[in-house]
Amino acid sequence: MANPRSFPRFKGWLLPGLALACLLALPPVAQALGQPALVTLVTRMMILGLAASALNIALGMGGLISLGHAAFYGIGGYAVGILTTHAAAGAPFLGFIPGSDSLALNLLAALVASGVAAAIIGALALRTSGIQFIMITLAFAQMVFFLFVALKAYGGDDGMSFRRRNGLLDFNMRDDATFFYVSLGVLSLWLALSARLLHSRFGLLLGGIRQSERRMQAIGVNTFAMRWLAFVLSGMGAGLAGALMANLGRFVSPDLMHWTQSGEMLIMVVLGGAGTIFGPVLGAFALIGLETLLASWTEHWQIFLGPLLVLMALTFRGGLARLWRKGDAS
Amino acid sequence: MKNFRILAVAAAAMCATSAVHAQEPLKIGMITTLSGPGGYLGQDIRDAFQLAIDMQGGKLGGAPVQVIVEDDALKPGQGKQIADKFIKTDKIKLLTGIVFSNVALAVVPDVLDADGIYVSPNAGPSNLAGKECNANYYVVSWQNDSLHESAGQNANNLGYKKAFLLAPNYQAGKDALEGFKRTFKGEVLGEVFTRLDQTDFAAEMAQIRAAKPDVVFQFHPGGAGIAFLRQYQQAGLTGVVPMVVPSPSMDAVTLKAIGEPALGLNVSAQWNSDFDNAANKEFVAAWMKKYNRPITYYASQGYDTALAIGAALKATGGKVEDAKAFRTAMLKADFKSVRGNFKFGKNQHPIQDWYAMRVEKDEAGVPVIKTTGKISSDVGDFYAKDCKL
Amino acid sequence: MALVLEQLLNGIQFGVMLFLLAAGLTLVFGIMGVINLAHGSLYMVGAYAAALGAKLTGSFLLAIPCGLVAAGLAGMALEYIVVRRLYARDHLDQVLATFGLILFFNQAIILLFGRQPMFVQIPPLLSGALDLGLFAYPVYRLCIILAGLACAGGLFLLIQRTRLGMLVRAGATHRDMVQALGVDIRLLYTILFGLGAVLAGFAGLMAGPLLSVQVGMGEQILILTFVVVVIGGLGSVAGAFWGALLVGLVDTSLRAFLPQILRALMNGSEADALAGGISAMGVYLVMALVLLVRPKGLFPAYG
């Protein structure tokens, strides 16, 4: 188990600090290099990194392997899509919820919507454990997926697109660099919060439950409530990521909730390192980066990516985040 | 870590070389679906598009062109990412290639917002054909609904009065049933929405048999259509209840995979490989020489798209920077389409003829799609009236 | 009435196919503790190998061993090269590795066979429909039901009456003890994995003439197979059997009867859309309900 406190403070934050500096410098550098599409690519990586990091709260900290987080990701996205189109059309959603094209409000709505969904699904799913938990989360996600496929009013299987990104203060959100910085801000905030969480009493309790539920019950911890809370928080994070992704592409579709999307989030977490703060983000960068790089080389890129993933699963115990923390892996 | 550094260096090197060596020819960005069960559709569009360029000696309308192809994997998000890269990094203005409507709906608005030009070789969703039509958006294939309208008309012409309809439960499937019902004059006995990923249709076969219709209309592109037709035969329905389908449910590739169970099927389409015009004969011969595999509607559409772009480039001297000049040239449609008559309507979707076809055995006893007659002439689409161009 | 019976038969046929896939998966799951997402790829390998065999030899009978052998070999090779290294790992590493395998298999099939679906003919002897009195039913589908039931029976005998079966049963409940008693557990695992692969390949080759032999056919059925395994209870072949029949019947009857029932209650197109949505969700709803009532599935193999 990682114990960051054994590190001098600066050392643990040195690499993330460097990464942050690089990211801050990215938009102008990409512009100068004549690679402006790099900005949106990295924005996408950051948003998926946020989703993976959110899944990590359930998975890495709580030991809850969920194969259904795409549902919350998609619900967050649809919250934005639905409110934005209702704002454009001027008709309230469900007859009483006014539409909105403010980013702050819509992110909040996404958090609430995905949080409620995670609360319900979590309360039911947490009655099981192990592989059954994986499968029941998948089952709920599939139900949500087919629900949105059948929702003709909101585009059904084709999804829906909207003309403009949601607004934030007086920023020009049309500009990809601005949206990049907004996403970076949200991601940093989220990571700071999850770092706090990992070291809080709640985080320590979760770690304890993951290792031995019986022991924690014996000392009087309501383990069900703790896990449920972790699941809800995790679902809300995924919803936040979905809301940002909807804004990035100005488009939502049930594709967001497809089970392969849940699988991809899982893979990002495992690739980067479950239970670490920065690992999942790193995993997202690595997976999307590899996909993009290989796809630009050959249309048969999957024949390389597949074995590469197998190799990583077999050799990198604990994920990429362990690469520079070897001593910490025990 | 070391491996990653090598990867990063290699990546940088790749970017650098690709930026250096592609400067002279006009770049055309092709976003298409190459992976998954729908992969052969994109492959045919890409190969036919490239064939047209090869036949003109690496040029289109006298202008040297270079096609950059990327696979959207049938994911709208991926398609958007590729479009973004094409437009911003590669500075491409002219895009084409998308197979599926849901990808087109996500990608096309982005291209248009960035002042790009998009020419569709396949998908023609209704949302982009009516009020949302755009001066820089052209469709060379068809508007989605007109496929199914032609099938409905075909069913009328064949004298069928009672129909049973099936399509997958998604937007294109719902549009299919709407389109069919718009032209079909008889009675609809039942409508069934199948699941998007469904491959076993035993339950539906029993419903068809119980409903006793004159004719079945079904829209299942790709693998699902193959499964549907096979199971139709196994259920003893082939030859008992005839079927009308639009071209996506029956192309040369699916026919090859189905074989005899497809005999007697009524297809409606805007093109077939046996069309007796010079442009088509040249195209079919060149395709067989280069690729030697069954030739589909998708291929003909990819080829026509290349010819249409070529005709426009010829008039503008190979330039696409002036979208207005390109539009004037493009709308003339000054090329010999392999399907015969072709012009653009007011919403820049085709006005063309629809033909009835039947699956029959050729001299060698192999099932082929044979053209039997014309269904309708100079047909535009239902949504053109809402377009304010 | 005839329609109801026919739909029940359809449900059973679908269930039997699911069982063939689920049997291998549940053994691998329950005994080796491995989540194998690539199980659907073995189904695809079986279908492609049989299609190729039929194309080369012109005989469906000869295509059967082609499909079985190819799937079995692919399965054993998979176990030997990759899966063997995953036994001691947690589920997450297994998901990552086997997901990578799916990508590899799909692209390899594209490289070898192209993107066009393969053609497989139903053997002439089995084409056509058999008159069952009330209704006619496709002979080929009847054959699938019989073959699947025969497989289920054989598997039952194998597990209940043979030494291998005894080890399997013991391994599902007391893995460490079996190992401690000096059984070559590695060999047992390889054989079991190969057996699961052969069953998946058998399902694939039987599905060939029915569905379409194409890239990605494995993933279409993979999730449902997992549903079956979980409903039945991990590691329980009997559970997989009853779970498969339940899923097959629920799925088929929802698709067959729900539209009519709803159409009696509301107008046509809304009823169709709603029925489509509910029947797509139906199986997952059943799984959720089963797990809420019996968290270990209907026939838990252990504990």
Residue C298 lies in a domain: no
**Preferred mutation among C137, C227, C255 to probe B, highest tally of B CBs within 10 A:** C255
CB contact under 8 A, C280 and A146: yes
**B178 CB within 8 Å of a chain A CB:** no
CB contact under 8 A, C129 and B236: yes
**B369 CB within 8 Å of a chain C CB:** no
**A265 CB within 8 Å of a chain C CB:** no
Give dist(CA A141, CA A130) in Å, integer.
17
**A155 CB within 8 Å of a chain B CB:** yes
Give the mean pLDDT of C238-262.
88
Residue C254 lies in a domain: yes
Interface of C with A in 93-112 (CB under 8 A): 93-97, 99-108, 110-111
Question: What pLDDT score does A325 carry?
Answer: 55
Confidence bin at A8 (pLDDT 50/70/90): very low
**Preferred mutation among C211, C223, C247, C263 to probe B, highest tally of B CBs within 10 A:** C211
Interface of C with B in 11-70 (CB under 8 A): 13-14
CB contact under 8 A, B223 and C217: yes
Question: What pLDDT score does C42 carry?
Answer: 93
Question: What pLDDT score does B21 carry?
Answer: 44
Question: What pLDDT score does B19 carry?
Answer: 44
Range among A61-70, C16-25, C112-121 rated most confident: C16-25
CB contact under 8 A, B34 and A299: yes
CB contact under 8 A, B174 and A156: yes
Task: Count Cβ neighbours within 10 Å for each residue of C115-144 and write b for 16 or more, e otherwise.
Answer: bbbbbbbbbeebbebeeeeebbbbbbbbbb
Give the mean pLDDT of B132-158.
90
Range in A2-6, A91-95, A104-108 with the lowest mean pLDDT:
A2-6
Which subunits sit against B, judged by 3+ Cβ pairs under 8 A? A, C
Rounded percentage of chain B residues whose pLDDT exceeds 70: 93
CA distance, residue C141 to nearest chain B CA (Å): 9
The 10s digit of each residue's pLDDT in B102-132 is 888 889 988 998 899 999 999 888 888 888 8
Contacts of A259 in chain C (CB under 8 A): 223
pLDDT of residue A319 exceeding 80, the answer is no
Higher local confidence (pLDDT), C209 or B358: B358
Give the mean pLDDT of B163-188.
87
* Pairs across A and C, CB distance < 8 A: 132
**C130 CB within 8 Å of a chain B CB:** no
**A253 CB within 8 Å of a chain B CB:** yes
Q: Residue A30: closest CA among chain B residues belongs to which residue?
A: B89
Interface of B with C in 239-298 (CB under 8 A): 253-254, 256-259, 293-294
pLDDT of residue A62 exceeding 70, the answer is yes
CA distance, residue C279 to nearest chain B CA (Å): 9
**A144 CB within 8 Å of a chain C CB:** no
CB atoms within 10 A of CB C81: 12
Question: What pLDDT score does C301 carry?
Answer: 64
**A268 CB within 8 Å of a chain C CB:** no
Question: What pLDDT score does A5 carry?
Answer: 46
Rounded percentage of chain A residues whose pLDDT exceeds 70: 92
The 10s digit of each residue's pLDDT in B42-97 is 999 999 999 999 999 888 888 899 999 988 878 887 888 889 888 888 889 999 99
Q: Which residue type occupies C131?
A: D
Contacts of C213 in chain B (CB under 8 A): 257
Contacts of C268 in chain B (CB under 8 A): 191
- The structure's pTM equals 0.81
The 10s digit of each residue's pLDDT in A160-216 is 877 777 777 777 777 788 889 989 999 999 988 888 888 888 888 888 888 877 887
Residue C301 lies in a domain: no
Confidence bin at C269 (pLDDT 50/70/90): low
**B81 CB within 8 Å of a chain A CB:** yes
Q: How far is CA B316 from CA A85, A88, A175, B335, B389, in A?
A: 39, 39, 32, 15, 21
The 10s digit of each residue's pLDDT in B320-348 is 888 888 898 889 888 889 998 898 988 89
CA distance, residue A223 to nearest chain B CA (Å): 39
Confidence bin at C278 (pLDDT 50/70/90): confident
**C215 CB within 8 Å of a chain B CB:** yes
CB contact under 8 A, B35 and C106: yes
Give dist(CA A266, CA B175) in Å, integer.
36
Question: What pLDDT score does B288 carry?
Answer: 92
Question: What pLDDT score does A12 carry?
Answer: 62
CA distance, residue A96 to nearest chain B CA (Å): 28
Give the mean pLDDT of A40-50.
90
Contacts of A163 in chain B (CB under 8 A): 109
What CATH number is attached to the domain comprising C69?
A: 1.10.3470
Question: What pLDDT score does A323 carry?
Answer: 64
**B35 CB within 8 Å of a chain C CB:** yes
Alpha helices in chain A (DSSP H): 9-33, 37-56, 69-89, 103-125, 131-150, 176-199, 201-211, 213-218, 223-249, 259-272, 279-297, 302-315
pLDDT of residue B20 exceeding 50, the answer is no
The 10s digit of each residue's pLDDT in A251-296 is 888 888 988 889 889 888 888 887 788 888 888 998 888 888 887 7
Question: What pLDDT score does A240 carry?
Answer: 94
Residue C74 lies in a domain: yes
CB contact under 8 A, B76 and A157: no
The 10s digit of each residue's pLDDT in A216-239 is 778 877 888 888 999 999 999 999
Q: Residue B84: closest CA among chain A residues belongs to which residue?
A: A37
Question: What pLDDT score does C59 carry?
Answer: 82
Residue C300 lies in a domain: no
Confidence bin at C302 (pLDDT 50/70/90): low
Domains and CATH numbers, chain B: 2-142+276-344 (3.40.50.2300), 146-269+353-385 (3.40.50.2300)
Give dist(CA C263, CA C274) in Å, integer.
10
Using only C-alpha atoms, chain C has a radius of gyration, in whole angstroms, of: 20
Contact B286, B51 (CB under 8 A): yes
In which domain, by residue range, is C81 found?
Answer: 2-293
**B193 CB within 8 Å of a chain A CB:** no
Nearest by CB to B19, from A34, A159, A255: name it.
Answer: A34
What angle in degrees, to the nearest 10, is found between the helix axes of A201-211 and A176-199? 70
- Comparing CA positions, the residue from A323, A238, A308, A211 lying closest to residue A273 is A323
Give the mean pLDDT of C49-73.
89
CB contact under 8 A, A306 and C103: yes
What is the residue-wise DSSP string for B16-70? HHHHHH--SSEEEEEEE--SSTTHHHHHHHHHHHHHHHHHTTSEETTEEEEEEEE
Give dist(CA B226, CA B222) in Å, integer.
7
Question: What pLDDT score does C136 carry?
Answer: 78
Interface of C with A in 270-289 (CB under 8 A): 273-274, 276-277, 280-281, 284-285, 287-288
- Comparing CA positions, the residue from C117, B84, C78, C247 lying closest to residue A307 is C78
Confidence bin at B181 (pLDDT 50/70/90): very high
Question: What pLDDT score does B164 carry?
Answer: 93
Confidence bin at A326 (pLDDT 50/70/90): very low
Contact B211, B189 (CB under 8 A): yes
Structural domain count of chain C: 1
Confidence bin at C138 (pLDDT 50/70/90): confident
Q: Residue A303: closest CA among chain B residues belongs to which residue?
A: B35
